[in-house]
């Protein structure tokens, strides 16, 4: 008997099966289908709500070892990239698989920069949003709208088209994000300045007032670059999964990216940095930390910016941000919420509940404190997450499109509803009081 197999005995029938174990300690869920009680039986299925133990793809992009707190893009440790690289170089690495040489880097930078402008109609389109629209909602709608501007993007099986859409979207995201921000402020939109770096230009489009040329503070420009490196990809997270799932029905990548932005919007994903800051503001003082932790332990609420599906150790991104916060505060002044955050982390990491549940700070615990110190309103935090994550989404999407094993994403279900029943006339149905419970459960 081969060693790399799993022997299964179905006690219902006494039959034995040998399931191959593939590299990475994986069995194919479809192999379970041969396990049947009878000829007409559908076969065994695995049940895995929220995919907690199901791999949906093979990927070469990002590696995470959640127990050890390791994150690598294309094999390169996140700590080295955060220290030595810049976002555009990391985006190249993520999208293309290798670090560029000088010539390729310069070409890539130029290729991104020539796509920073958006069609004037996009500006008009954005003007249509209400004055108090959430910038992430605006970004979501506008990224989807790009689909209508680039009908050529439908050609998803063409390599050159995929490359073009990738450059376009990475180039345009800062512009869309900045327009959304300026809209909420009632300020005129600022056009891109391609003399500046990727993050320097973003700062210019966000904060330029009447000066002829905006000069970004080099410390803040670099801090934003590091934040962008840390947020560029994170393997099969909720938004990458949305990008792939929508992409599997083969629409253009802008439609997929709109779905990814929508997934990122939620407070359990990219919205967590906003939720974490709101929580720290609500705590208000270190003396109130024990009361909040009591509520968390009693299951009344969650500690936002803590916990992760994959990391069961300190999120390496949070470690880098915690150290970087001090450099940012030298320019911006200290954000007093950092004291609450550090004390909250200290107490939580000694507490049996957090130790036994393996709950550590994640990237969102410190990123919001830095963004707030830099002058960003909380509603911009998830938008600032979406800009750099675009390179990860496009890489995940392109990998999915090229993967011959992928098909339209279509999970199975276990039907637990009513068995067949027959239509009754309105007048003969049970009175509302008898039906109330069933109806209210359905919404
Ligand atoms: N505070 C308190 N308890 C928690 C927390 C938390 N933040 N996170 C998980 N737990 C507990 C949870 O109550 C459960 O306990 P028990 O087993 O006793 O019922 C256990 O830990 C496992 O939780 P889970 O909900 O099954 O874990 P998950 O893998 O489904 O959730 C998570 C992962 C990130 C959604 C969750 O940890 C969470 O809600 N954290 C707060 C939101 C947050 O910070 N999100 C940002 C994630 S990092 C950035 C990104 O990738 O988007």
Residue 271 is predicted with a pLDDT of 86
Torsion angles phi and psi, residue 357, rounded to 5:
-85, 0
Range of the domain at 39: 5-47
Residue 38 is predicted with a pLDDT of 93
Q: Is residue 418 part of a domain?
A: no
Residue 434 pLDDT > 70: no
Instruction: Summarize pLDDT for 202-237 with one digit per residue, the tens.
Output: 999 999 999 999 999 999 999 999 999 999 999 999
Q: Is residue 365 part of a domain?
A: yes
Residue 87 pLDDT > 90: yes
Indicate if 91 and 130 belong to the same structural domain.
yes
Residue 241 is predicted with a pLDDT of 98
Q: Is the CB of 273 within 6 Å of ligand 1?
A: no
Residue 1 is predicted with a pLDDT of 59
Indicate if 28 and 131 belong to the same structural domain.
no
Q: Which atom of ligand 1 is nearest to the CA of 276?
A: 44
CB 96, CB 105: distance < 8 Å: no
Indicate if 229 and 368 belong to the same structural domain.
yes
Residue 34 is predicted with a pLDDT of 97
Instruction: Give the residue, by CA position, lying nearest to ligand 1 atom 35.
Output: 268
Q: Which of 230-244, 279-293, 319-333, 423-437 has the weakest average pLDDT? A: 423-437
Residue 193 is predicted with a pLDDT of 98
Indicate if 219 and 291 belong to the same structural domain.
yes
CA 205, CA 177: separation in Å to the nearest integer? 9
Active site residue 231: no
Residue 189 pLDDT > 80: yes
Indicate if 207 and 306 belong to the same structural domain.
yes
Q: Which atom of ligand 1 is nearest to the CA of 309?
A: 29
CA 227, CA 230: separation in Å to the nearest integer? 5
Torsion angles phi and psi, residue 19, rounded to 5:
-105, 130
Grade residue 440 by pLDDT with cuts at 50, 70 and 90.
low
Indicate if 39 and 178 belong to the same structural domain.
no
Q: Which residue has the higher pLDDT, 190 or 440?
A: 190
CA distances from 309 to 12, 59, 64, 249, 392 (A): 34, 18, 11, 27, 18
Residue 443 is predicted with a pLDDT of 62
CA of 48 to the centre of ligand 1 (A): 17
Average pLDDT over residues 349-359: 96
Instruction: Summarize pLDDT for 274-289 with one digit per residue, the tens.
Output: 889 999 999 999 999 9
Residue 121 is predicted with a pLDDT of 96
Indicate if 19 and 129 belong to the same structural domain.
no
Residue 378 pLDDT > 90: yes
Cβ-Cβ contacts under 8 Å for 138 (sequence gap 6 or more):
126, 129, 179, 180, 183
Average pLDDT over residues 267-272: 89
The domain tally of the chain equals: 2
Instruction: Give the residue, by CA position, lying nearest to ligand 1 atom 31.
Output: 309
The answer to pTM > 0.85 is yes
CA 236, CA 275: separation in Å to the nearest integer? 22
Q: Is residue 190 part of a domain?
A: yes
Residue 284 is predicted with a pLDDT of 96
Instruction: Give the residue, by CA position, lying nearest to ligand 1 atom 3.
Output: 302
Instruction: Summarize pLDDT for 99-108 with one digit per residue, the tens.
Output: 999 999 999 9
CA of 276 to the centre of ligand 1 (A): 13
Indicate if 230 and 370 belong to the same structural domain.
yes
Residue 430 is predicted with a pLDDT of 83
Instruction: Summarize pLDDT for 134-181 with one digit per residue, the tens.
Output: 999 999 999 999 999 999 999 999 999 999 999 999 999 999 999 999
CA 198, CA 188: separation in Å to the nearest integer? 20
Active site residue 183: no
Residue 23 is predicted with a pLDDT of 85
Mutate to test the pocket of ligand 1, among 298, 307, 314, 341 (most ligand atoms within 8 A of CB): 307
Which pair of structure tokens corresponds to residue 39? 């000829």
Q: Is the CB of 234 within 6 Å of ligand 1?
A: yes
Q: Is residue 244 part of a domain?
A: yes
CA of 302 to the centre of ligand 1 (A): 7
Task: Considering the candidates 364, 403, 422, 437, report the single residue annotated as catalytic.
Answer: 364
Average pLDDT over residues 286-297: 96
Q: Is residue 10 part of a domain?
A: yes
Q: Is the CB of 363 within 6 Å of ligand 1?
A: yes
CA 381, CA 172: separation in Å to the nearest integer? 18
Indicate if 227 and 362 belong to the same structural domain.
yes
Residue 24 pLDDT > 90: no
Q: How far apart are the first and last CA of the chain?
A: 52
Indicate if 335 and 394 belong to the same structural domain.
yes
Instruction: Give the residue, by CA position, lying nearest to ligand 1 atom 2.
Output: 302
CA of 406 to the centre of ligand 1 (A): 29
Q: Is residue 21 part of a domain?
A: yes
Taking all residues of the chain, what is their mean pLDDT, rounded to a whole number?
95
Indicate if 151 and 30 belong to the same structural domain.
no
Indicate if 128 and 22 belong to the same structural domain.
no
Grade residue 406 by pLDDT with cuts at 50, 70 and 90.
very high
Residue 436 pLDDT > 90: no
Residue 254 pLDDT > 70: yes
């Amino acid at each position: 008997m081969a060693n790399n197999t799993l022997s299964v005995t179905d006690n219902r029938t006494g039959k034995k099966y040998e399931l191959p174990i593939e590299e990475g300690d994986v069995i194919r869920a479809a192999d379970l289908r041969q396990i049947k009680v009878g000829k007409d039986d559908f076969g065994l299925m695995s049940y895995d709500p929220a995919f907690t133990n199901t791999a949906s793809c093979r990927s070469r992009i990002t590696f995470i070892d959640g127990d050890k707190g390791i994150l690598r893009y294309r094999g390169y440790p996140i700590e080295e990239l955060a220290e030595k690289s810049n976002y555009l170089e990391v985006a190249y690495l993520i999208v293309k698989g290798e670090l560029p040489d000088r010539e390729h880097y310069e070409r890539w930078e130029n290729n991104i920069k020539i796509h920073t402008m958006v069609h004037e109609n996009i500006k008009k389109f954005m003007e249509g949003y209400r004055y108090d629209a959430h910038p992430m909602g605006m970004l979501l709608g506008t990224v989807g709208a790009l689909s209508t501007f680039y009908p050529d993007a439908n050609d998803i099986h063409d390599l050159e088209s995929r490359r073009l859409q990738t450059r376009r979207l990475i180039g345009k995201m800062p512009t869309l994000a900045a327009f959304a921000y300026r809209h909420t402020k009632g300020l005129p939109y600022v056009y891109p300045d391609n003399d500046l770096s990727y993050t320097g230009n973003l700062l210019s489009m966000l904060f330029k007032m009447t000066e002829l040329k905006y000069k970004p503070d080099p410390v803040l420009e670099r801090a934003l670059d590091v934040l962008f490196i840390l947020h560029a990809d994170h393997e099969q997270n909720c938004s990458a999964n949305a990008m792939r799932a929508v992409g599997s029905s083969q629409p253009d990548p802008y439609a997929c990216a709109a779905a990814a932005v929508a997934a990122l919007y939620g407070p359990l994903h990219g919205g967590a940095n906003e939720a974490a800051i709101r929580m720290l503001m609500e705590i208000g003082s270190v003396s109130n930390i024990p009361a909040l932790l009591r509520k968390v332990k009693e299951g009344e609420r969650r500690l936002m910016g803590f916990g992760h599906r994959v990391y069961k150790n300190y999120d390496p991104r949070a470690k880098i941000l915690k150290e970087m916060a001090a450099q940012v505060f030298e320019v911006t002044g200290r954000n007093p919420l950092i004291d609450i955050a550090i004390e909250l982390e200290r107490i939580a990491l000694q507490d049996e509940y957090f130790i036994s549940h393996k709950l550590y700070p994640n990237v969102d615990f410190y990123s919001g404190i830095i963004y707030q110190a830099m002058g960003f309103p909380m509603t911009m935090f998830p938008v600032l997450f979406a800009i750099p994550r675009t390179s990860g989404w496009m890489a995940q999407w392109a990998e999915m499109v090229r993967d011959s094993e992928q098909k339209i994403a279509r999970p199975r279900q276990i039907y637990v509803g009513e068995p067949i029943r027959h239509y009754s006339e309105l007048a003969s149905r049970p009175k509302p009081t008898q039906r109330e419970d069933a109806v209210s459960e359905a919404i």
